[in-house]
């Protein structure tokens, strides 16, 4: 099977679906197999990124890979998610894949999810009920 030098994916820098050019790849240690990650460059903004070829979310022809709703975990702000995990947001009726995790400035944890309909959105995760009541008390004391 021939390798392609290009793929269509969302650029992490310019946030647009674009043609990505393969600029470098590595081999797994001790084997002839290529690594599952490779360096791709956006043909639009020229930004390079290390991309996991198996979790790209786009196929070679540019069609988005459909996520099966039955395999998704329903989103809840109390749960903890992993990068690559697929979730279903019941209020927005949309499915997406967790692409990044962050810690916010107030110490809570957040995930960035790439949804099929809505695009990328940041959601809160692992929020304890004690934190919610503390935040409500702070807001009520300021009013």
Segment 118-131, tens digit of pLDDT: 888 999 998 876 55
Q: Residue 59's pLDDT is what?
A: 40
For residues 67 and 86, give the distance between their C-alpha atoms in angstroms, rounded to a whole number.
Answer: 8
Dihedral sign, Cα of residue 87, residue 89, residue 95, residue 99: negative
The model's pLDDT over 94-126, given as tens digits with 9 standing for 90+, comes to 999 998 899 888 888 999 998 888 888 999 998
- Give the E-state strand segments of the chain in sequence order: 6-10, 17-27, 34-42, 48-52, 73-74, 86-89, 94-103, 109-115, 119-125
Contact 127, 77 (CB under 8 A): yes
Confidence bin at 143 (pLDDT 50/70/90): low
Mean pLDDT throughout 36-58?
Answer: 75
Q: Can you give the C-alpha Rg of the chain in angstroms? A: 19
Mean pLDDT of the chain: 78
Is the pLDDT score of 142 beyond 70?
no
Question: Which residue would you say has higher pLDDT here, 1 or 113?
Answer: 113
Is the pLDDT score of 89 beyond 90?
yes
Question: Which residue would you say has higher pLDDT here, 94 or 8?
Answer: 94
pTM above 0.95, yes or no: no
């Amino acid at each position: 099977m021939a390798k392609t030098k290009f793929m269509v994916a969302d650029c992490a820098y310019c946030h647009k679906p674009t043609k990505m050019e393969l600029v470098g790849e590595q081999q797994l240690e001790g084997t002839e197999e290529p690594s599952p990650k490779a360096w791709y460059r956006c043909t639009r903004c020229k930004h390079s990124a290390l991309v996991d070829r198996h979790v790209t979310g786009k196929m070679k022809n540019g069609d988005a890979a459909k996520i099966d709703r039955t395999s998704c975990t329903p989103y809840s702000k109390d749960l903890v998610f992993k990068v690559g995990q697929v979730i279903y947001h019941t209020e927005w009726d949309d499915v997406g894949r967790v692409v990044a995790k962050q810690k916010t400035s107030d110490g809570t944890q957040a995930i960035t999810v790439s949804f099929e309909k809505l695009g990328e959105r940041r959601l809160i995760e692992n929020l304890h009920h004690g934190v919610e009541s503390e935040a409500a008390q702070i807001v009520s004391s300021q009013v």
